[in-house]
Amino acid sequence: MAPPPKYLTGDSAAINDFINRFDVFLFDCDGVLWSGDHVFEGAVETLELLRAKGKKTIFVTNNSTKSRPQYLEKLTKLGIPSSTDDIFGSSYSSAIYISRILKLQPPKNKAFVIGEAGIEKELASEGVPFIGATDPAFRRDITPEDWEGIANGSHLDPNVGVVLTGLDFHINYLKLAHAFHYLQQGAVFLSTNTDATFPASHSFFPGAGSVSSVPLVNMTGKKPISLGKPSQAMMDAIEGKFQLDRERTCMVGDRLDTDIKFGVEGKLGGTLAVLTGVSKKEDWEAEGAVAVPAFYVDNLGDLRAGAA
């Protein structure tokens, strides 16, 4: 059993000791830095404090609808200084996985994508050919010709070697039918992330896992490789890109089942939970908790006490 996490809020000495143990901080964003359009008090100053101490800060998000440049825009709009290089999203993670790990041989290296523009941009940045996604040809009702063409294969692209599913606000029967048939023909099954829901408009809405991944799992009996937290495929991709020392890296997040689990299973030197998001103290104190953080604070801004 994991030891109980150390509470840092209000304890300057413990905070300084905590900060000194790490060179790299991986940040979940929603629930940690902001909620909706509201940036938490002290969040920006905490990032600045860590950077002033020479720490690297990386934003790790399961949001697959935005590419890194699009996510940078969002951070900038919220007043959070960053650069594209500090952003690691599940679309980028997926693109890297396809181009650098799967390394499918052309011409059978095309991805059939269920998802939004963020995935397209990241696949293009890694030179991965793709179809589907935001193409209007797939944003429509299924027709009698489609039934025939999908069934007999004449509507299927013989060069599709991967099906990549993410959050898609334009999910439809036509896309699911295509993805199902590509998977039945042996395409590799990848998901940007498998979140059941995601926070929006101060509520929750259907997530990537629910709208595109789980339906195909149910149809095929196959499970996707997920390229988002808590999947270690994402951690491997982060480590590969930043050449980080896991022992000197800390994951900061609000969810035990994604963020903290991601850090614990990745054998990072530490994990920090904040209580401004989904998970609460009772969650890790409960028997059979999905993951227990090493440290916790009430708010990320509490780390400012380490400035002295």
Q: What's the closest the beta carbon of residue 175 comes to its own copies, in angstroms?
A: 10
Backbone angles phi, psi at 241, to 5 degrees: -75, -45
Pair of tokens at residue 295: 């440290």
CB of 209 to its own copies, least distance (A): 6
The span from the CA of 66 to the CA of 206, in Å, is 17
Question: Quick one: 81 or 153, whose CB is closer to its own copies?
Answer: 153
Q: Distance of alpha carbon 229 from its chain centroid, rounded?
A: 5
What kind and span of H or E run contains 50? helix 43-52
58 or 176, CB closer to its own copies?
176
Q: In the complex with its own copies, which residue's Cβ is closer, 194 or 276?
A: 194
Residues annotated catalytic, as ranges: 23
> Closer CB to its own copies, residue 54 or residue 288?
288
Closest separation between CB of residue 103 and its own copies, Å?
30
Q: In the complex, what is the shortest distance from the CB of residue 284 to its own copies, in angstroms, rounded to a whole number? A: 20
Buried b (16+ CB within 10 A) or exposed e, 139-171: eeeeeeebeeebeeeebbbeebbbbbbbbbeeb
Cβ proximity of 298 and 275 under 8 Å: yes
Contact residues: its own copies, CB under 8 A: 141-142, 147-148, 150-152, 168-173, 176-177, 180-181, 184, 196-197, 200-207, 209-211, 214-216, 218-219
| Strand 24-27 relative to strand 34-35, pairing | unpaired
